[in-house]
Amino acid sequence: MKQRKLGPFQVSAIGLGCMNLSHAYGVPPSPEQGAEVLSRALDLGVTHFDTAALYGFGANETLVGKVLSPYRSRFTLASKCGMTGVDGKRVIDGRPETIKRTCEEALQRLATDVIDLYYLHRWDRKVPIEDSVGAMAELVREGKIRSIGLSEVSADTLRRAHAVHPVAALQTEYSLWTRNPEIAVLDACRELGVSFVAFSPLGRGFLTAALTDPAQVAAFDAKDIRRAMPRFQGEHLSANLSLLGDYTALAAEAGCTPAQLALAWLLQRGEHVLPIPGTTRLDHLEEDLAAADVVLSADMVARVERLINRSTVSGPRYNAATQTEIDTEEFPA
């Protein structure tokens, strides 16, 4: 596996987002199936595993700890605080005391003495970013985490946080169909020497071209978070599905699968960009990781970008309620 810099660490160019194994897309796979995916990823050379206290309300950290802790020296472990499950509900809480408590709980679940990269999952707007990051800086000094990350924040918030303590990585949704990082934060990361971790690099499954019919979306599990996302609803969905025929043809021309085309495009956005696709299937895992060897011509990159971009994709990525929780820059309506 090719390597890239993640803050102070050298990791596989493509990491594994572990959320899917416990959270978000309906009924998760069995722990046994999740363990197979994690173990196979490690065998295939993945050295960047990304989890969070939120995922499965602790279940994902527990799974990662149980499966991977015997091989702790072989990979870089990332997790997140600041958004957790409380009494069965998702809660954003960036108070210093909550961050410290969540870290202690995470260390227990992950069966480790230290977390390599610890993100603030969401900026709690009731708490100055300086206070939240200050608490994380104390965790660094105490040796409980090795570096600090931020998730879903703007370039301005990144700069404010970076002034308190160096930020190793910033994580935000980024793919062909979600281009918001190109407004400012991608360049800010490059300027400050901050690694950029792209979550949902496959457009929450859309860029795999496996969804071809509205009936498939209608069959999503009741707890699948995509049910509340405008891009998977009504006229937005129909408009977006109309892009897939040409997109699939471009992937075939490039000699790769649609998923690999999306990941290869991200890898060519800059050496500081690290995608973390997630999956519950071994065949999809192997397909995703093979994208590290796909090289796209400048012409192919231009054609893909003309086909799928902020002007051609229909609908916002989050509904209005969720958008209020997000600090990332937005394109004009």
Between helix 258-267 and helix 298-307 the angle, nearest 10°, is 110
pLDDT digits (tens, 9 = 90+) for 255-301: 999 999 999 999 999 999 999 999 999 999 999 999 999 999 999 99
Find the mean pLDDT for residues 221-247.
97
Apex CA 295: angle with CA 302 and CA 43, to 5°?
A: 135
Q: Are 177 and 307 in contact (CB under 8 A)?
A: no
The predicted pLDDT at position 333 comes to 76
pTM: 0.97
pLDDT digits (tens, 9 = 90+) for 59-118: 999 999 999 999 999 999 999 999 999 998 999 999 999 999 999 999 999 999 999 999
Residue % of the chain over a pLDDT of 90: 98
Q: Are 105 and 63 in contact (CB under 8 A)?
A: no
Q: Are 192 and 158 in contact (CB under 8 A)?
A: yes
The predicted pLDDT at position 254 comes to 98
Measured between alpha carbons, how far is 230 from 110 in angstroms, rounded to an integer? Answer: 34
Measured between alpha carbons, how far is 21 from 278 in angstroms, rounded to an integer? Answer: 8
The domain defined by 3-204+267-294 folds into: TIM Barrel (3.20.20)
| CA 39, 40, 45, 47 torsion-angle sign | negative
Q: 172 forms bridges with which residues in the sheet? A: 198
What's the maximum distance between 2 C-alpha atoms anywhere in the chain? 53
Strand ranges inside the chain, DSSP E? 3-6, 9-12, 16-17, 48-50, 76-81, 83-86, 89-92, 115-120, 145-151, 167-173, 195-199, 273-275
Residue % of the chain over a pLDDT of 70: 100
Region for 264 from its dihedrals, namely left if φ exceeds 0, alpha if ψ lies in -120 to 50, beta otherwise: alpha
Active site residue 71: no
Output the average pLDDT for the chain. Answer: 97
pLDDT class of 12 with cuts at 50, 70, 90: very high
pLDDT at 49 over 90: yes
Measured between alpha carbons, how far is 205 from 103 in angstroms, rounded to an integer? Answer: 31
Measured between alpha carbons, how far is 291 from 120 in angstroms, rounded to an integer? Answer: 29
pLDDT digits (tens, 9 = 90+) for 118-137: 999 999 999 999 999 999 99
Measured between alpha carbons, how far is 304 from 176 in angstroms, rounded to an integer? Answer: 8
Q: Which among 187, 188, 150 is positioned nearest to 169, based on CA atoms?
A: 150
- Look at the chain and count its residues: 333
Measured between alpha carbons, how far is 129 from 297 in angstroms, rounded to an integer? Answer: 41
Radius of gyration of the chain (CA): 19
Q: Choosing from 55, 119, 174, 247, which is the catalytic residue?
A: 55
Q: Are 106 and 67 in contact (CB under 8 A)?
A: no
End-to-end CA distance of the chain: 40
The predicted pLDDT at position 332 comes to 87
Query: Residue ranges of the domains in the chain?
Result: 3-204+267-294
- Tokens found for residue 157: 């918030």
